[in-house]
Amino acid sequence: MLGLRTTIYKVGDIKKAKDWYAKAFKTEPYFEEPYYVGFNIGGYELGLQPEENPTTDKEESVVSYWGVEKIQEVYDRLIDLGATENEKPYNVGGELTTATVKDPFGNIIGL
């Protein structure tokens, strides 16, 4: 194992998802094709792939957490952009706080 390289979110509308993630992560994709859109987020790959059977009802089995400096601000901004609350910011010990939202396509984004 070499470590985590890519987090991929399956989406029903890849063009809408590309626009949403560009706003949410404040960056444009470096790669864009109908079968995959790739973003470089602080040296890590965030990928979008189209779903064969689009759904916003997705399993919550694995969550990737993206590092942020001001979790409440980022959480509130994602909600303002159309994400929905999954887990409000919660102190899990010391200075560590986590939160999760669901993107408009049903994927969970950890902060």
| Predicted local confidence at residue 61, as pLDDT | 79
Could you give the strand order of the β-sheet that contains 84-93, starting from the edge strand earlier in sequence? 84-93, 96-102, 108-110
CATH annotation of 6-54+63-110: 3.10.180.10
Prediction pTM value:
0.91
| Predicted local confidence at residue 57, as pLDDT | 87
| Predicted local confidence at residue 55, as pLDDT | 87
Q: In the chain, what are the domain boundaries? A: 6-54+63-110
pLDDT, one tens digit for every residue, the chain (111 residues): 888 899 999 999 999 999 999 999 999 999 999 999 999 999 999 999 999 988 888 888 789 999 999 999 999 999 999 999 999 999 999 999 999 999 999 999 999
Q: Are 49 and 17 in contact (CB under 8 A)?
A: no
Token representation of residue 33:
């094709």
| Predicted local confidence at residue 26, as pLDDT | 97
